[in-house]
Structure 1
Amino acid sequence: MGAYRDLLRTPGVGRIIAAQLTARFPNGMMSLGLLLHVEHITGSYGAAGLVLAATSVGQAVAGPVTSRWMGVWGMRRVLTLTMLVCALAITAIALIAMPVPAYMAFGLLAGLATPPVQSAVRTIYPKMVNSRQLTPLFSLDASLQELIWVFAPVVITFVALQAGTTPALILVVAILLGGCTWFIASPELGRVRIPRSRRSIGKVLAKPPVLLGTVIGFLLIGACAAVEAGVVASFGHGGFEAGIILALFAVGSLAGGLSFGHLPIGPWAMARRMAIVTIGLVLTTVSLNAFWLGGTLVIAGIGIAPALAVIFAITSASVKFSDTAEAYGWIGTGQLIGAAAGSAIAGFLIDGMGPGGAYWAAAAFAAAGVLVSVVWARSFPDLRGRDASPLPDTEPVPTIT
């Protein structure tokens, strides 16, 4: 824990972590809040699913685009604009009764305008700490984001049940505005300027570590989404066991990130960490007993945050600084598509095989992540004793002859 104590003593690190977690907290509330609200208004989970799908499509499309815009117009301008548009779209859904296609349109707009806080903060991190601290910082970030997925669904569900779905969505808007404003006001956003990328959009995926990070992120988050579907199917939407088991899954990730995320990252680091996830998920297929699932998901969770830390570090070390925001945008898009794919496949298997099918899907996603990590191990950069900071942007300097 000494590495993390040193990190939090570094000027600005604790503040920027707290600000970005607050700004991203609505990400863990919005999907469930929209689901509850649209179902309450229309009486149809199918209609609510369509709105969620539109929102997810918007987020997936926007990730690389809005992240890249930060190198053109600056982080503060892009974050402010997207924050305001996203807040207005969610407010419209909360306050205006409309047909389902209109809800879908506003959901798409909210997704497209989701502020690229994650890309911004991970672009800033290398400028805040020295090279020795960067990998532990990525690990701490990946670990603490689990707090969002533990507490955000609980908060939005409690408010929706106690006060109604409209106040619940207004709370999402309030936290979005407050958290993003705090993050945007951080001095680091004024000190760090992302250079305009000279590459066309998408070219950053030609970097093997970025492509591997996107693919493995897709598989890892797909496994997590399948687990969530399986747990809900096993114990029902109202079962308290489901919440406890999913919280244990997140606690395992938090513990793994804090315990092992600071370890040096070599070419086989991803394979080892994904193997831990896979072992835990394979064990879930043995029994649907609540105690068994809780214990095995703690094991699986131990590898999640460390695996995410590897993704963030190899991405940072493999691209020019001007391309980092877009690279993280693509990784975020891969994770969003993985979440959708994992949920969909798990849903079909639950219908055909029962809840156990979801755990087999999760294990298959994770095992595919191990396979990719092993087959392409040589494409992972060796960061042991190496700086994980982005490559400097260089350009010709005119000389007088």
Structure 2
Amino acid sequence: MASTVTSDAVKRPGYGQLLRTPGAWSFLLPGFAARQPFAMLTIGIVLLVQHTTGSYGTAGAVAAVTGVSMALFAPQSGKLADRFGQRAVLVPGVLVHAASGAVLIALALADAPLWALFAAAVPTGASVPQVGPMVRARWAARLDGSPLMSTAAAFESVTDEFTFVVGPVLATALCTGVHPAAGLVAEAALTLAGGLLFAAQKRTQPAHGPHAAGAAPAGGERARTSALSVPGVRVLAVAFLGIGSVFGGMQVSLTAFTEEIGNPGVNGLLYGLFAAGNMLAGIAVGAIAWKTGPRRRLIIGYAALTVAASLLWSAHSVALLGALGLVVGLSIAPALISGYTLVDSLVPASSRTEAFTWLTGAVALGQAAAVTVAGRLADGYGSAAGFLVPLAGTALALTTLVALRSRLTARPASRTVARGVGHRVPVAVD
């Protein structure tokens, strides 16, 4: 008698199965080292420039220029990686980043004028290696069509959040305990070493150019268009701008709050609770066998994030703010992971790296804007006003998501099918 059996491994994909993917560790370990600087750059610039100028405003402005530059250039880096290969983009990119970072350090220590710091900050941000999106693209190439893709997206979210816990702590310890420039020096060194090691893993590099799966549609037409031309990617970019507003708004407003209560040392604890919530939720999302699709999970998760963010401004105690920060963190991961999971079904393989970098860039842009706006609000009206930035950012993004949710529908795999195939459920016949 004929029968069809679905294995538990497919029903319930887990982290163990994911990490047994052939070749995974060859890009995960160097990729982890290469992405650490992503979280060290902003805090390293702030601490160095504040030390040399005595102004948090100037330090924040230089860091914001770096963030905006990265957000604008990251998608172009992703597009080039899809076309010419990750190695071809990554090797010159890490060399430029290390050199421009060294110039920025030298200018800051030499008390150079602000315009010179801005000039050095632009290439420093523009050349930040997009290792996270490149790792996600490698997972997508390895797991194409597998239910493990959602697990991989969760794993990457946890890795990113762990990076944002370890990176700032390491940079701060180096800047305060060794030398004000030590954080940026370590950032440049890790970028160079990790980036070159990651680029050397040629076996796991996704196919690129005309050889990439999905590079040409049915009928042989070549379409070399931007991933941003896909309506769903534009909607996700708006959603990720809102997530960036949470990261930026929380960083500034938590710092302002702890200074207002005269206990700045508790800032690390509060931000740690926020980051821990994100990590815990990311682990859980990857371990659960979901019965609902990523689009619905994205909208539900984003609604929860908006509600949690709307309460931050009203917290007036460390305990309450810590609890709310934990809830906000728990709400971010489901939305973030669902968004990254949707990319695999929205764009062809030939545009995946670019699509991932648009989303990463949107987070960076939202964070840079939030840092600037929340900083001004906190200076003028207190930390409670700064917490309004995450509320506004997530509310606007949620409205966009709900209104344009139909654009997050997966692209059809193909319109050319054999006659009589795919419209009838096969049955077993004795």
TM-score normalized by the length of structure 2: 0.83
Counterpart of 1:397 in structure 2 is none
Pick from 101, 113, 117 the counterpart of residue 115 of structure 2: 101
Structure 1 residues 73, 234: CA separation in 2 closer, same or farther (over 3 Å shift)? same
Distance in 2 (CA, whole Å) between partners of 1:73 and 1:240 is 47
Counterpart of 1:67 in structure 2 is 78
Counterpart of 2:152 in structure 1 is 137
Counterpart of 1:222 in structure 2 is 245
Counterpart of 2:352 in structure 1 is 324
Structure 1 residues 80, 110: CA separation in 2 closer, same or farther (over 3 Å shift)? same
Distance in 1 (CA, whole Å) between partners of 2:96 and 2:387 is 38
Distance in 2 (CA, whole Å) between partners of 1:199 and 1:240 is 54
Structure 1 residue 85 displacement after superposition = 0.5
Count of paired positions = 385
Distance in 1 (CA, whole Å) between partners of 2:389 and 2:103 is 37
Q: Comparing 167-176 with 88-97, which one deviates more in the overlay?
A: 88-97
Counterpart of 2:423 in structure 1 is none
Structure 1 residue 189 displacement after superposition = 4.2
Counterpart of 2:195 in structure 1 is 180
Structure 1 residues 161, 116: CA separation in 2 closer, same or farther (over 3 Å shift)? same
Could you list the per-position Cα deviations for residues 1-44 of structure 1 after superposition, in whole angstroms to 9, with x for gaps in the alignment?
Answer: 96112111222324423322221110111111112222222333
Matched, 1:123 2:137: yes
Structure 1 residue 161 displacement after superposition = 0.8
Structure 1 residue 349 displacement after superposition = 2.7
Structure showing greater radius of gyration is 2
- Paired letter, 1:83: V
Matched, 1:336 2:403: no
Structure 1 residue 329 displacement after superposition = 2.2
Counterpart of 1:39 in structure 2 is 50
- Paired letter, 1:260: V
Matched, 1:211 2:234: yes
Distance in 1 (CA, whole Å) between partners of 2:324 and 2:183 is 33
- Paired letter, 1:224: F
Matched, 1:347 2:358: no
Distance in 1 (CA, whole Å) between partners of 2:407 and 2:321 is 35
Distance in 1 (CA, whole Å) between partners of 2:242 and 2:60 is 22
- Mapping for residues 141-180 of structure 1, pairs under 5 Å: 141-180=156-195
Partners of 1:75 and 1:189 within 8 A in 2: no
Structure 1 residue 82 displacement after superposition = 0.3
Q: Comparing 150-159 with 48-57, which one deviates more in the overlay?
A: 48-57
Pick from 64, 71, 86 the counterpart of residue 97 of structure 2: 86
Partners of 2:83 and 2:350 within 8 A in 1: no
TM-score normalized by the length of structure 1: 0.88
Structure 1 residue 129 displacement after superposition = 2.5
Matched, 1:240 2:240: no
Let me know the Cα RMSD of the aligned residues. 2.5
Could you list the per-position Cα deviations for residues 136-195 of structure 1 after superposition, in whole angstroms to 9, with x for gaps in the alignment?
Answer: 1011101221011111111111111111122322211111112112211224444x2222
Counterpart of 1:254 in structure 2 is 279
- Paired letter, 1:220: I
Matched, 1:17 2:28: yes
Distance in 2 (CA, whole Å) between partners of 1:186 and 1:54 is 32
Structure 1 residue 278 displacement after superposition = 2.1
Counterpart of 2:409 in structure 1 is 381
Structure 1 residue 204 displacement after superposition = 2.6
Q: Comparing 114-123 with 367-376, which one deviates more in the overlay?
A: 367-376
Structure 1 residue 200 displacement after superposition = 5.7
Matched, 1:273 2:301: yes
Structure 1 residues 28, 252: CA separation in 2 closer, same or farther (over 3 Å shift)? same
Structure 1 residues 68, 206: CA separation in 2 closer, same or farther (over 3 Å shift)? closer
Counterpart of 2:422 in structure 1 is none
Partners of 1:30 and 1:172 within 8 A in 2: yes
- Paired letter, 2:130: P
Distance in 2 (CA, whole Å) between partners of 1:125 and 1:84 is 25
Q: Which blocks of at least 5 consecutive residues in structure 2 are unaligned?
A: 1-11, 216-221, 417-430
Structure 1 residue 378 displacement after superposition = 2.5
Distance in 1 (CA, whole Å) between partners of 2:156 and 2:56 is 34
Distance in 2 (CA, whole Å) between partners of 1:108 and 1:258 is 35
Distance in 1 (CA, whole Å) between partners of 2:259 and 2:98 is 32
Matched, 1:372 2:400: yes
Q: Comparing 284-293 with 84-93, which one deviates more in the overlay?
A: 284-293
Matched, 1:57 2:85: no
Pick from 298, 304, 314 the counterpart of residue 286 of structure 1: 314
Structure 1 residue 247 displacement after superposition = 0.8
Distance in 1 (CA, whole Å) between partners of 2:385 and 2:334 is 26
Distance in 1 (CA, whole Å) between partners of 2:149 and 2:158 is 14
Matched, 1:111 2:122: no
